[in-house]
Amino acid sequence: MKKILIAVALFLVLIFLLINHSFEDIQISKYESIEEVKNNTAIQGGWIPAILPDSAYDIVESHDLDTNTIFGSFKYKEKDEETFIQNLTDLNTADDMLEWGNFIFKIDRKLNQVNFRNKPPLTQ
């Protein structure tokens, strides 16, 4: 009987470990406007860049707490496009990536949409 209880306990521990390691710790947040972002801690937490234009809306960000990888997007009104872009640095890549702080941006001027992510860690 003792062996059966030990086997069941080991089985339950194994199932717990498999379930715990199978699901990534990804959090996704959605905001309707920049005001909503500012009322949250997403900028202070480093999940959303502080440089978003005042007209930013439909803001989405996801971050993986295990890998510290951030992906996000937002839309903006055309009136803020030039001012926003002036604050970014061109990375001179084939896909026109821009950077600011710890973030990399890809701008779709036709859709007035920006995709962003954090810079990947430097590998040694």
DSSP string, 63-111: EETTTTEEEEEEE--GGGHHHHHHTSEE---TT--EEETTEEEEEETTT
Range of the domain at 107: 25-118
Helix (H) or strand (E) holding 57: strand 57-64
The confidence score (pLDDT) of residue 31 equals 94
Q: Tell me the pTM.
A: 0.76
Residue 15 falls inside a structural domain: no
The confidence score (pLDDT) of residue 124 equals 47
103 forms beta bridges with: 100, 118
Question: Token pair 């080991």 is at which residue?
Answer: 10
Residue 13 falls inside a structural domain: no
The confidence score (pLDDT) of residue 3 equals 78
Name residues of the chain where pLDDT drops below 50. Answer: 124
Number of domains in the chain: 1
The confidence score (pLDDT) of residue 45 equals 85
Residue 52 falls inside a structural domain: yes
